[in-house]
Structure 1
Amino acid sequence: MVTDLAALLDRLPDGWSRVTFDGRTYGVTRTRAVDGHAISLYAEELGGTDVVSANVYRTAEEDLLRPCEMPGAKVIAFLRGLEPA
């Protein structure tokens, strides 16, 4: 469990946006479903090959991070380090 996951996700608007992370530019899509209880995050490096992808399920007890075919630490590092472009 990541205690600041909600705050990290709330830094991104719904829909598509451009951010920088680690000196590289990414296009990020954040979508919500089930009245905001399910959030999908997909980031693709523009002009590169890196991808960050995860789903987050908001329950009454906690936010559950479910990364897509990558370590959760990579998703958290991306969310913590991104800057709006």
Structure 2
Amino acid sequence: MDFKKIPEGYSEGIYKVKKYGITKKTFNHGKSFKLFAEELGGSDFISLNNYKTKQKELLKPCEMSEAKVVDFINKVKLLEPKG
């Protein structure tokens, strides 16, 4: 999984032929972040927190399976910002 491909702040991407608004916010000097993506014009969403410890990274999905989060991160195609 490459979380680095998703920029800080707001971006948009395509996942399973649907457009998503994606917000990523980093905390603790880059040691944790929150990601929330919602289907624009639909009801699907992706929500997770990620924490870096000295030993490993911890992925904590919110109200969904880890498999759904991993699939989204691996398959979302980011769109170029407008303007």
1:75 counterpart = 2:63? no
The unaligned stretches of length 5 or more in structure 1 are: none
For 2:25, the equivalent position in structure 1 comes to 31
Over aligned residues, Cα RMSD in angstroms?
Answer: 0.7
Percent identity of paired positions between Structure 1 and Structure 2: 37
The unaligned stretches of length 5 or more in structure 2 are: none
Counting matched residue pairs gives 79
Distance 1:12 1:20 in 2: 12
The Cα shift of 1:84 comes to 1.0
Deviations 1:29-58 (CA, angstroms, capped at 9, x unpaired):
000001111110000000000000000001
Give the TM-score taking structure 2 as reference length: 0.92
Detail structure 1 runs of 4+ shifted over 3 Å in the superposition: none
Give the TM-score taking structure 1 as reference length: 0.90
Q: Secondary structure at the match of 1:44?
A: strand
